[in-house]
C-alpha cells in the first residue's frame, strides 16, 4: 500500500478520563491488559459523585507515518476473476467485471453464457467478504448454465480463475432460494466477514407482467482451505 | 467554525458534513484519529497528553490512524529538539473525540498564514452502491477556491478552514483547484481515484504567498451499500410456477430441496 511507510513506536501514555457516569471501566485498546484499573463506582445511584481524574496506561502501539502526497496514494490493482467452473454441473463460464445500473441494481452481463463479478465488492481471493458472481438464468435460446445452480449440492467444488492465472478452489456450503422481496442483499454483498464466493441467479415463478422471476437463487461457497 | 456548503455538483449526491455515523471501520468502543502536518518547512514533535506521540513529524506527512478511547486529549506541537511539551510552538489545544467516530487533526496555516490546528470529523456514513466520497478541505494560506473535477466545478468558493464533500460514482477524476471564479488551476490537475465505499479526503495546504501550495490525500473506508436488486433472468425458461417450463427443472427443484435449501439470506 505504501511506498515508504515509516513506523514509529510510541510509548504508552496516560490518558483516559474516566467519567463517573460511565459505569464500567474505560474502553481500552484491544490486547491491553490493565493491571491497576480501580474498580468503578456503581452507577445505580442517581446522583453520581464527582470522580477524580483516573488515568490508565493506554498503549497506542505503532503509529504509521506516510507521505500524504497524491503520488503516494497507491490503489492496489485487483486480480479480477475471469473464469468460473463448476465441473460437477458442467458450468464453465467467462467472468467479466460489472457494477451497478442507473437504478442501483447489479448489472448482469448480456445473455446467459457470461457471468458478472461485482467490482465494487470483494474479489475472489480477498481476505474477507463475499465475492459476488451473478448470471442470467436464461437467454432467448433457453436456460443458461446458472439454471443448473439449483442442482448444486453442498460440498460441490467450484473453481475461480483470476486474471493473473491463479485458481481459487471453493466448496459449496449453502443453497438458498428466496423471494426477491425478502432477500437480504446487504448480507449477500457482505464486504467483511469470512471470505466467500456467492453465486446469484434467478428462479421461482416467472412474472411475465414485469419480466422478472420472483426469487433469487443464491449459492454460497467457501475456500476449500477454510472447510472445517 | 466549519460549514458544509451544498455546491452544485454535476455528478453524484452531495451530503451534509458532520453526519458521520459510527461505522465498523472504527475499533469497537474507540475513536480513530489521524494527524496531518500541513505547515511548510516546520518539522515538529506531536505531544498527546504530555507524551511524544509522533516524533520528528514532517510537513506533508500523515500519521495514524490512532485508536483513542473517547475523551478529551491535549495536543501540543513542539520543535523536534524539545525535551517535553512545556514550550510548544503550537497549542496546546483540546481535542475531544467520541466513540465510533473518525477524525483528522490538521496542523496547518490559517488564511492569513498563522499556524493553527483544526480537527475535522471524517464522514463514515455508507455511500450508495458503486459510489465513493470526495471530501475537500481548504487548509492553505490562500483565498477561497473552487474545486474542479474533469473540467467542471464540483465545489465552489471553499475557504480556509472549511470542507465540502459529495458522493460520486467510483472512477478516476482529474482534480484541480483554482481561485474562486477563475479557471487557471493553482493546484493540479492531479488524478484522484475515488473508490466505491471509500472517503477520499483531499487537502490544499501550504501558502500561496510563499509559492508552496500543495495537495495531500487521505482515504478512510466507509463501505458502499449493496446493489438494490439482482435481476438475473429475462425469458421465463426457468419458471417454476406451473407453465410447461416447470418440466425442465421440476427435478432440479427436488434435488435442491434434498440439498437443503436454507434461508441464510432471507430477511427475518
With CB atoms and an 8 Å threshold, state whether B226 touches A64: no
Which pLDDT score, from 0 to 100, does residue A107 have? 96
- Pick from A80, A87, A62: nearest CA to A157: A87
Q: Which residues of B touch A204 (CB under 8 A)?
A: 240-241
Q: Which residues of A touch B55 (CB under 8 A)?
A: 8
- What average pLDDT does the segment B240-260 reach? 46
Q: Which residues of A touch B243 (CB under 8 A)?
A: 206
Higher pLDDT, B111 or B24: B111
Q: How far is B258 from chain A (nearest CA, A)?
A: 8
Enter the C-alpha cell of residue B40.
511548510
Q: Where are the domains of chain B?
A: 13-221, 238-268
Contact of B238 with chain A, judged by CB distance below 8 Å, is answered with yes
Q: Which residues of B touch A68 (CB under 8 A)?
A: 36, 60-62, 203, 216-218
Q: Which of B63, B228, B241 sits opposite A205 (nearest CB)?
A: B241
Which tens digits make up the pLDDT trace of A4-32?
433 333 333 333 333 333 333 333 333 33
Contact of B181 with chain A, judged by CB distance below 8 Å, is answered with no
Cβ-count burial of A31 within 10 angstroms (0-12 exposed, 13-18 middle, 19+ buried)? exposed
Enter the C-alpha cell of residue B123.
464522514
Which tens digits make up the pLDDT trace of A139-178?
988 999 999 998 899 999 999 999 999 999 999 999 999 9
Q: Using CB atoms and an 8 Å cut-off, which of residues 106-145 of chain A contact chain B?
A: 106, 108, 118, 120, 134-140, 142-143
Which pLDDT score, from 0 to 100, does residue B268 have? 55
Which tens digits make up the pLDDT trace of B81-128?
999 999 999 989 999 999 999 999 999 999 999 999 999 999 999 999
Contact assessment for residue B69 and residue B138, using Cβ atoms and an 8 Å cutoff: no
Q: Using CB atoms and an 8 Å cut-off, which of residues 118-157 of chain B contact chain A?
A: 128-130
Q: Where are the beta strands (DSSP E) in A110-166?
A: 115-118, 130-134, 138-139, 142-143, 157-162
Task: Reply yes or no on whether the pLDDT at B25 is more than 70.
Answer: no
Q: Which residues of B touch A77 (CB under 8 A)?
A: none
Task: Reply yes or no on whether the pLDDT at B3 is more than 80.
Answer: no
Q: Which of A135, A151, A205 sits opposite B256 (nearest CB)?
A: A151
- What average pLDDT does the segment A109-131 reach? 96
Contact of B253 with chain A, judged by CB distance below 8 Å, is answered with yes
Task: Tally Cβ neighbours within 10 Å of residue A24.
Answer: 8
Q: How many angstroms from the chain centroid is the CA of residue A210?
A: 31
Which pLDDT score, from 0 to 100, does residue B27 have? 84
Q: Which one of A64, A97, A101, A150 would you mutate to disrupt binding with B, by most B Cβ within 10 Å of its Cβ? A: A150
Higher pLDDT, B25 or A171: A171
Rg of chain A's alpha carbons, rounded to an integer? 25
Q: Which residues of A touch B255 (CB under 8 A)?
A: 150-151, 153
- For residue B265, name the pLDDT band (cuts at 50, 70, 90): confident
List A70's β-bridge partners, or say none: none
**DSSP annotation string for B224-259:** BPPPS------SSTT--SSSTTHHHHHHHHHHHHHH
- For residue A61, name the pLDDT band (cuts at 50, 70, 90): low
Task: Reply yes or no on whether the pLDDT at A135 is more than 60.
Answer: yes
Residue tagged 449477500 (cell numbers): A188
- Pick from A75, A72, A68: nearest CA to B132: A75
Chain A residue with Cα closest to B50: A13
Pairwise CA distance, residues B75 & B90, whole Å: 9
Q: Which of B129, B196, B235 sits opposite A104 (nearest CB)?
A: B129
Pairwise CA distance, residues A101 & A104, whole Å: 5
Structural domains of chain A ordered from first start = 1-75 (no CATH), 81-226 (2.40.260.10)
Which pLDDT score, from 0 to 100, does residue A137 have? 93
With CB atoms and an 8 Å threshold, state whether B225 touches A139: no
Pairwise CA distance, residues A141 & B12, whole Å: 38
Which tens digits make up the pLDDT trace of B147-156?
999 999 999 9
Contact assessment for residue B23 and residue B65, using Cβ atoms and an 8 Å cutoff: no
Q: Using CB atoms and an 8 Å cut-off, which of residues 4-63 of chain A contact chain B?
A: 8, 10-17, 26-30, 58, 60, 63
Q: Where are the beta strands (DSSP E) in A99-156?
A: 115-118, 130-134, 138-139, 142-143
Contact of A161 with chain B, judged by CB distance below 8 Å, is answered with no
With CB atoms and an 8 Å threshold, state whether B48 touches A15: yes
Q: How far is A223 from chain B (nearest CA, A)?
A: 18
Contact of A103 with chain B, judged by CB distance below 8 Å, is answered with yes
Q: Which residues of A touch B196 (CB under 8 A)?
A: 120
Higher pLDDT, B159 or A39: B159
Task: Reply yes or no on whether the pLDDT at A48 is more than 70.
Answer: no
- For residue A65, name the pLDDT band (cuts at 50, 70, 90): very high
Amino acid at each position: 500500500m505504501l511506498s515508504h511507510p515509516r513506523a514509529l513506536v510510541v510509548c504508552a501514555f496516560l490518558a483516559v478520563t474516566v467519567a463517573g457516569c460511565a459505569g464500567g471501566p474505560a474502553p481500552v485498546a484491544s490486547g491491553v491488559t490493565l493491571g491497576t484499573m480501580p474498580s468503578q463506582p456503581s452507577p445505580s445511584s442517581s446522583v453520581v459523585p464527582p470522580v477524580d481524574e483516573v488515568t490508565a496506561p493506554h498503549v497506542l502501539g505503532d503509529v504509521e507515518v506516510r507521505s500524504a502526497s497524491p503520488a503516494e496514494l497507491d490503489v492496489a490493482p485487483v486480480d479480477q476473476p475471469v473464469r468460473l467452473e463448476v465441473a460437477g454441473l458442467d458450468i464453465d463460464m467467462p467472468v467479466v467485471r460489472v457494477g451497478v445500473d442507473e437504478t442501483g441494481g447489479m448489472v448482469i452481463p448480456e445473455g446467459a453464457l457470461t457471468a458478472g463479478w461485482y467490482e465494487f465488492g470483494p474479489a475472489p481471493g480477498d481476505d474477507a467478504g463475499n465475492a459476488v458472481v451473478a448470471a442470467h438464468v436464461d437467454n432467448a435460446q433457453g436456460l443458461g448454465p446458472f439454471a443448473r445452480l439449483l442442482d448444486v449440492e453442498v460440498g460441490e467444488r467450484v473453481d475461480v480463475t483470476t486474471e493473473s492465472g491463479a485458481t481459487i478452489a471453493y466448496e459449496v456450503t449453502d443453497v438458498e432460494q428466496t423471494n426477491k422481496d425478502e432477500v437480504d442483499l446487504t448480507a449477500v454483498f457482505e464486504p467483511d466477514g469470512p471470505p466467500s464466493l456467492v453465486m446469484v441467479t434467478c428462479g421461482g415463478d416467472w412474472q411475465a407482467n414485469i419480466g422478472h422471476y420472483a426469487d433469487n437463487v443464491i449459492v454460497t461457497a467457501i475456500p476449500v482451505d477454510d472447510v472445517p | 467554525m466549519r460549514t458544509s456548503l451544498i455546491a452544485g455538483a454535476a455528478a453524484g449526491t452531495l451530503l451534509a458534513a458532520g453526519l458521520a455515523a459510527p461505522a465498523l471501520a472504527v475499533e469497537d468502543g474507540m475513536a480513530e484519529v489521524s494527524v496531518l502536518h500541513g505547515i511548510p518547512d516546520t518539522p515538529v514533535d506531536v505531544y498527546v497528553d504530555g507524551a511524544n506521540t509522533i516524533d520528528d513529524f514532517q510537513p506533508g506527512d500523515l500519521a495514524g490512524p490512532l485508536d483513542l478511547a473517547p475523551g478529551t486529549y491535549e495536543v501540543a506541537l513542539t520543535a523536534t529538539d524539545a525535551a517535553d511539551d512545556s514550550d510548544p510552538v503550537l497549542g496546546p489545544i483540546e481535542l475531544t473525540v467520541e466513540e465510533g467516530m473518525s477524525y483528522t487533526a490538521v496542523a496547518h496555516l490559517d488564511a492569513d498564514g498563522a499556524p493553527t490546528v483544526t480537527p475535522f470529523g471524517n464522514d463514515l456514513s455508507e455511500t450508495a452502491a458503486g459510489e465513493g466520497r470526495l471530501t475537500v478541505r481548504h487548509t492553505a494560506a490562500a483565498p477561497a477556491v473552487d474545486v474542479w473535477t474533469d473540467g467542471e466545478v464540483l465545489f465552489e468558493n471553499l475557504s480556509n478552514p472549511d470542507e465540502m464533500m459529495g458522493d460520486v460514482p467510483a472512477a478516476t477524476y482529474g482534480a484541480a483547484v483554482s481561485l474562486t471564479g477563475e479557471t487557471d488551476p493553482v493546484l493540479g490537475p492531479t488524478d484522484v481515484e475515488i473508490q466505491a465505499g471509500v472517503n477520499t479526503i483531499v487537502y490544499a495546504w501550504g501558502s500561496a504567498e510563499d509559492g508552496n501550495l500543495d495537495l495531500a490525500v487521505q482515504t478512510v473506508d466507509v463501505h458502499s451499500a449493496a446493489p438494490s436488486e439482482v435481476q438475473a433472468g429475462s425469458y421465463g425458461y426457468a419458471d417454476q410456477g406451473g407453465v410447461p417450463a416447470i418440466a425442465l427443472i421440476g427435478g432440479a427443484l427436488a434435488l435442491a430441496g434434498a440439498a437443503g435449501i436454507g434461508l441464510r439470506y432471507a430477511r427475518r
